[in-house]
Amino acid sequence: MAHRRLATVRFYFSFNCLKINLNMTDCIFCKIINKKLPASVEAETKNVIVFHSIAPVSTYHVLIVPKKHIKSFQDFSPKDKDLFFEMVKIAQKVIKDKKLSSGYKLVINGGKYQAVSHFHWHLLGGELEDKNDILNQT
Ligand SMILES: [Zn+2]
């Protein structure tokens, strides 16, 4: 009986590892992080990478991405608090280095508005593409 339970646990464990690996293998941001896909990298730390969007909506548009595969904002947990603050610090550094302090947006998309299922912030600066968008008027 105990042997069977152990086998079930092992199966469950390997199934979940396989699932995690499949998710990461399919994820374009994980491929960028693992240098399997090219990107225009703006900045990088041990746990966070910043690269330019391939579909910019402003004259300056980068994505701030944790290297750990976290699916969405809703999947952040207290154990990721140091990672979250590392993202804050690199965002502050890019805003300072690129002289964006006079006008920038830091945006989190979720659900149907999130194009890639790997959590990221959009840092927008300079001139926005769609000035009529209600979010661009506030
Ligand atoms: Zn990923």
Summarize pLDDT for 18-38 with one digit per residue, the tens: 444 445 568 999 999 999 999
CA of 29 to the centre of ligand 1 (A): 5
29-88 pLDDT, tens digit each? 999 999 999 999 999 999 999 999 999 999 999 999 999 999 999 999 999 999 999 999
Does the domain at 39-136 match CATH 1.10.3720.10? Answer given as: no
Q: Where are the beta strands (DSSP E) in the chain?
A: 41-44, 48-52, 58-66, 104-107, 121-128
Domain ranges of the chain: 39-136
pLDDT at site 4: 52
CA of 5 to the centre of ligand 1 (A): 32
CA of 88 to the centre of ligand 1 (A): 19
| 108 vs 119: CA distance, rounded Å | 8
CA of 12 to the centre of ligand 1 (A): 22
CA of 46 to the centre of ligand 1 (A): 16
Mean local confidence (pLDDT), 96-116: 95
pLDDT at site 31: 97
CA of 61 to the centre of ligand 1 (A): 20
| 88 vs 95: CA distance, rounded Å | 11
136 vs 11, residue with greater confidence: 136
pLDDT at site 107: 96
- Which whole-number Å values give the CA distances from 102 to 9, 24, 53, 105, in the listed order? 54, 37, 21, 11
CA of 70 to the centre of ligand 1 (A): 7
- CB count within 10 Å of CB 32 equals 20
